[in-house]
Amino acid sequence: MNDAVKMFIVLAGVTTTCGLLLAGAHDLTRERIVTQQLRYIKGPAIRTVLSDATNDPLLDRRVVAVSGKEVTLFFGKKGGRVTSIALETAAQGYAGPVHIISGFDPESGTCTAIAVALSQETPGIGSRITGDAFTGSFTGLDPATAAALRKDGGTIDGVGGATVSSRAVCSAVAAAQKLFKEIRPSISEVERENAHQ
């Protein structure tokens, strides 16, 4: 056989085999990797938001499609009943995107709690948005009032000296409120599916 052809066959064979093996390995580990990433990166924030849940919300997650986008919902349950549903949104902060987990009551749509999942805000200034004093002020926000700072005509008191970061949190929560409104009709469906399992 021609030398060049042989060379090509060996190279192509090795590459194809390796590619196929990796595709298989990827399929086997994909689910677990997604769960692990959630657990270690966003897990703490999700658990804070769904603090009274007795299940593991990371495993009780559903992906739903809303106006062409995929949104992952985390279900917090207590005694078999869904008490709160959390989802993630992001908004541009001072030093990059600020990722927020917001929890909502499935019945009323009221915001139950929020937590910062990921932010690179300046330590000591913008990073104060993670404090309970600030995040707690979103609890009980009803679905009719979009989250906004008082100086923007809303109801939330921003963190002093960190307007940009506080505003980012508000717009992320407002986006979550809007998203949740769109998702709510399909949630009852998801819940019923859950009940069957």
59 contributes a contact to other proteins by CB under 8 A: no
65 contributes a contact to other proteins by CB under 8 A: no
- Looking at beta carbons only, is 39 or 184 nearer to other proteins? 39
70 contributes a contact to other proteins by CB under 8 A: no
3 contributes a contact to other proteins by CB under 8 A: yes
Q: Which two tokens stand for residue 25?
A: 């390995």
- Do 182 and 67 contact (CB within 8 A), yes or no? yes
Pairwise CA distance, residues 127 & 137, whole Å: 16
26 contributes a contact to other proteins by CB under 8 A: yes
Three-state secondary-structure class, residue 10: helix
DSSP class of residue 54 equals S
36 contributes a contact to other proteins by CB under 8 A: yes
Which stretch, 26-34, 57-65, 75-83, 187-195, contacts other proteins (CB under 8 A)?
26-34
* DSSP codes joined into one string, 59-113: TSEEEEEETTEEEEEEEEEETTEEEEEEEEEEEE-SSSEEEEEEEE-TTT--EEE
40 contributes a contact to other proteins by CB under 8 A: yes
181 contributes a contact to other proteins by CB under 8 A: no
Q: Which of 55, 72, 110, 122 forms a contact with other proteins (CB under 8 A)?
A: 122
Three-state secondary-structure class, residue 179: helix
> Rounded to the nearest 10 degrees, how much is the dihedral formed by the CA atoms of 10, 15, 16, 18?
120
Q: Which residues on neighbouring strands pair with residue 85, listed in sequence order?
A: 75, 104
- Looking at beta carbons only, is 36 or 188 nearer to other proteins? 36
CA–CA distances in Å: residue 22 to residues 13, 28, 31, 46, 157: 14, 10, 15, 32, 51
21 contributes a contact to other proteins by CB under 8 A: yes
Which stretch, 10-18, 72-80, 104-112, 175-183, contacts other proteins (CB under 8 A)?
10-18
118 contributes a contact to other proteins by CB under 8 A: no
- The least distance separating other proteins from the CB of residue 35, rounded to whole angstroms, comes to 9
- What is the contact surface with other proteins in residues (CB under 8 A)? 3, 6-7, 10-11, 14-15, 18-19, 21-22, 25-26, 29, 32-33, 36-37, 39-40, 94-95, 122
